[in-house]
Chain A
Amino acid sequence: MTALVEVNNLSKAFGGVHAVEDVSFSVDAGQVYSVIGPNGAGKTTLFNLITGLYVPTGGEVKLNGESIAKLEPNQLAERGMCRTFQQMQICMNMTAIENVMLGRHLTLKSSLLTTLFRLPALTRGEKAAREKSAELMAFVGCGEYLDTEASAMSYGALKRLEIARALAAEPKVVLLDEPAAGLNAVETAALEDLIRKIAEQGITVMLVEHDMKLVMGISDRLLVLNYGRVLAEGTPEQIRENPDVIAAYLGG
């Protein structure tokens, strides 16, 4: 079986800064795979490389066995990859549900003429997309905001909205960059629940998170980065007992 996401000797340097250096690992379909490490370890850079936002300085990423080197982020979305951002990326010029409906972009193919004259096919597609999006908003726990302007929503609600948008694209693998950042204990517990439910649907989850309790509880495997390099890789038990990790990170 080929891994869903395979990373081989991946490197990225910004000038003299080696943000990611010679990183290799693979993620099987259906796993919850977490990437941890101290601030500046290169976690976000790794996600940006995997999702095609950055061009690597070395190595490669494969999605379902196919190299992503020549693919744009939107083409990766077509192949079943979607993500959220540490620096939330919400379209503040839209309502909450429109943000989620944007996630349905690839499933909503309508011609320019159908659109301009608002033919029945368009209205049907829009209604279906709206229903599906409302369902997803309820699923992530921001169902009460439907037609609220995104700019009027709280930080926590926007974080959930961003997840709903990613799910709306019906991804095979979703990458969440620090979804618990800025959330309180109750919200974090709800998030843990949500990530479990996403995984239960068969969606592969890649997660960057600082909240150790959350990460250790839900991950199948973890990757520990330190100064851009792999410090350790394995199951939560293995990571917890790894002396390097204890010395460099958990212990520190």
Chain B
Amino acid sequence: MIDRLPQFRLRGLVFLAIVVFSVPLFISNPFHYGLATQIALIAGAVVGLNLLVGFAGQISLGHAGFFGLGAYFSAIMTSTYGWSAIPALVVGAIAVAIVAWVVGRPILRLKGHYLSMATLAVGFIIAIILNNERETTGGPDGMPVPPFDVFGWELSPFGQYSLFGLDISGDLAWYLFAGIVLLVAVWLAQNLIDSPIGRALRSVHGSEVAASVVGVNTAKYKSLVFVISAVYASVMGALYGHFQGFITPSVASFDFSILLITMVVLGGMGSTIGVIIGAVVLELLPQVLADFQEMEMVLFGLILMLTMIFMPKGLLPTAASFLAKRRSKSAGGDA
């Protein structure tokens, strides 16, 4: 056992791949594909946020700000300046990384409520800028975003494509693309977690003094994970904009930041698959409870509160430990 590295991470990834690729067997209408695509992209951002919140134990109540920055950067570069989508996405991610690093250095020295307030402020400032810069962003009315393109080849939800001789509708193509992006996002996150850098990140959560006395520069790692999670949000935001074809500053709103955090907390901080489940549940809930539209924020706030009180570890870890207990109980009964 010593000579083999444990490979728990792969199980989650394989499970997720199976789910992602079997979804098209159960749905076919464009609305459902649209919803599934949106869930996959938001889940990708949540996986990134979980690196910061679940693994490194820091908080960001302004993460939608980075999602919005990525979305708007790509939108503006592709529509106003005629860039291709991929360079826009990459340069946007680099720009967001720089912003996150510059604001992260000072605010990550703060702890608890102070850090919450500071990140909240970062999100607000970004949202205000997007609202006010009417000339470039279209202000509160939003702006159209050209379809995603690769070397002149466009991916649009309304297109028709053929892959290996199979006819594929635009919505399905977008869904598969978003699903693969999510799988890559999860694979990268899991690689990160299960590495020396990942241990350093988790030790910042587990015991900051223990980390520092074995040589971990905790300030550096907090900044690093803040930047990485911001880049996740930026990339997913950019793709989200291209997919929707139109964005408004709501992508950077406080409400959306809270939704992202609620997904992490509900699904299970520090569980990559768990937080994806959190994203799925909280994206589907408003669909099921369409009548509650007005009450959405109240509902999410309630879920956040109830989870923290009754299920602080979140859905998946709680279920897992429940099952483990049942199993060990029945194993004990056999003995």
Q: Which residues of A line the B interface, CB within 8 A? A: 51, 53, 72-74, 76-78, 81-83, 85, 89-94, 98, 101-106, 108-110, 112, 115-118, 122-123, 125-127, 129-131, 134, 146-147, 165-166, 168-169
CB closest residue in chain B, given A93? B206
Least CB distance, B268 to chain A, in whole angstroms? 12
Interface size class of B (residues with CB under 8 A): 20 to 34
Complex CA distance for A105 and B214, rounded to whole angstroms: 7
Least CB distance, B203 to chain A, in whole angstroms? 5
Q: Which of B211, B215, B270 contacts A78 (CB 8 A)?
A: B215
Determine if A101 and B218 form an interchain contact, defined as CB atoms under 8 angstroms apart.
no
Least CB distance, B227 to chain A, in whole angstroms? 10
30 A-B residue pairs with CB within 8 Å: A51-B213, A74-B213, A74-B215, A77-B212, A81-B213, A82-B214, A90-B206, A90-B207, A91-B202, A91-B207, A92-B206, A93-B202, A101-B196, A102-B200, A102-B203, A102-B210, A102-B214, A102-B216, A104-B196, A112-B197, A115-B192, A115-B195, A116-B191, A118-B195, A122-B195, A126-B5, A127-B5, A165-B210, A166-B213, A169-B214
Determine if B215 and A98 form an interchain contact, defined as CB atoms under 8 angstroms apart.
no
Q: Which residues of A contact B192 (CB under 8 A)?
A: 115-116
Contacts A91-B210, A115-B195, A115-B196 given; indicate if A77 touches B5 (C-beta within 8 A).
Answer: no
Determine if B203 and A91 form an interchain contact, defined as CB atoms under 8 angstroms apart.
yes
Q: Which residues of A contact B270 (CB under 8 A)?
A: 93
Determine if B211 and A102 form an interchain contact, defined as CB atoms under 8 angstroms apart.
yes
Q: Fill in one digit per residue for B170-186: 1 if any A CB lies within 8 Å of its CB, else 0.
A: 00000000000000000
Determine if A169 and B191 form an interchain contact, defined as CB atoms under 8 angstroms apart.
no
Determine if A127 and B3 form an interchain contact, defined as CB atoms under 8 angstroms apart.
yes
Pairs A-B, 7 closest by C-beta atoms = A91-B206, A77-B215, A89-B210, A108-B196, A106-B215, A73-B212, A89-B207
Least CB distance, A151 to chain B, in whole angstroms? 10
Complex CA distance for A102 and B199, rounded to whole angstroms: 6
Q: 8 other contacts beyond A74-B215, A81-B213, A91-B211, with CB at 8 A cut-off?
A: A90-B210, A101-B196, A110-B197, A116-B191, A126-B5, A126-B195, A134-B2, A166-B213
Complex CA distance for A168 and B200, rounded to whole angstroms: 14
Complex CA distance for A118 and B202, rounded to whole angstroms: 18
Least CB distance, B212 to chain A, in whole angstroms? 4
CB closest residue in chain B, given A112? B197
Interfacial residues of chain B within 78-111, with CB under 8 A of chain A in the complex: none
Q: Which residues of A contact B218 (CB under 8 A)?
A: 74
Q: Which of B202, B206, B214, B224 contacts A166 (CB 8 A)?
A: B214
Determine if B214 and A168 form an interchain contact, defined as CB atoms under 8 angstroms apart.
yes
Q: Is B1 an interface residue (CB 8 A)?
A: yes
Q: Which residues of B contact A81 (CB under 8 A)?
A: 213
Complex CA distance for A165 and B200, rounded to whole angstroms: 13
Q: Is B306 an interface residue (CB 8 A)?
A: no
Q: Which residues of B contact A123 (CB under 8 A)?
A: 5
Q: Is B205 an interface residue (CB 8 A)?
A: yes
Determine if A105 and B209 form an interchain contact, defined as CB atoms under 8 angstroms apart.
no
Determine if B213 and A77 form an interchain contact, defined as CB atoms under 8 angstroms apart.
yes
Complex CA distance for A15 and B209, rounded to whole angstroms: 23
Determine if B200 and A85 form an interchain contact, defined as CB atoms under 8 angstroms apart.
no
* Consensus secondary structure, chain B interface: helix
Q: Which residues of A contact B209 (CB under 8 A)?
A: 53, 73, 85, 89
Q: Which residues of B line the A interface, CB within 8 A? A: 1-3, 5-6, 188, 191-192, 195-200, 202-203, 205-207, 209-218, 224, 270
Q: Which residues of B contact A76 (CB under 8 A)?
A: 213
Determine if A74 and B196 form an interchain contact, defined as CB atoms under 8 angstroms apart.
no
Q: Which of A53, A94, A147 contacts B6 (CB 8 A)?
A: A147
Q: Which residues of B contact A130 (CB under 8 A)?
A: 2, 5
Complex CA distance for A146 and B214, rounded to whole angstroms: 19
Determine if B2 and A82 form an interchain contact, defined as CB atoms under 8 angstroms apart.
no
Complex CA distance for A101 and B195, rounded to whole angstroms: 10
Least CB distance, B300 to chain A, in whole angstroms? 26
CB closest residue in chain B, given A106? B215
Least CB distance, A161 to chain B, in whole angstroms? 11
Complex CA distance for A109 and B202, rounded to whole angstroms: 17
Complex CA distance for A32 and B210, rounded to whole angstroms: 23
Max chain B Cβ within 10 angstroms of own Cβ: one of A76, A85, A116:
A116
CB closest residue in chain A, given B57? A93
Complex CA distance for A51 and B200, rounded to whole angstroms: 19
CB closest residue in chain B, given A137? B2
Q: Which residues of B contact A125 (CB under 8 A)?
A: 196
Least CB distance, A167 to chain B, in whole angstroms? 10
Complex CA distance for A115 and B209, rounded to whole angstroms: 24
CB closest residue in chain B, given A116? B188
Q: Which of B206, B215, B217 contacts A169 (CB 8 A)?
A: B215
Least CB distance, B152 to chain A, in whole angstroms? 28
Q: Which residues of B contact A91 (CB under 8 A)?
A: 202-203, 205-207, 210-211
Q: Which residues of B contact A117 (CB under 8 A)?
A: 188, 191
Q: Which residues of A contact B3 (CB under 8 A)?
A: 127, 131
Q: Which residues of B contact A89 (CB under 8 A)?
A: 207, 209-210, 213
Complex CA distance for A168 and B199, rounded to whole angstroms: 14
Least CB distance, A105 to chain B, in whole angstroms? 5
Q: Which residues of A contact B188 (CB under 8 A)?
A: 116-117
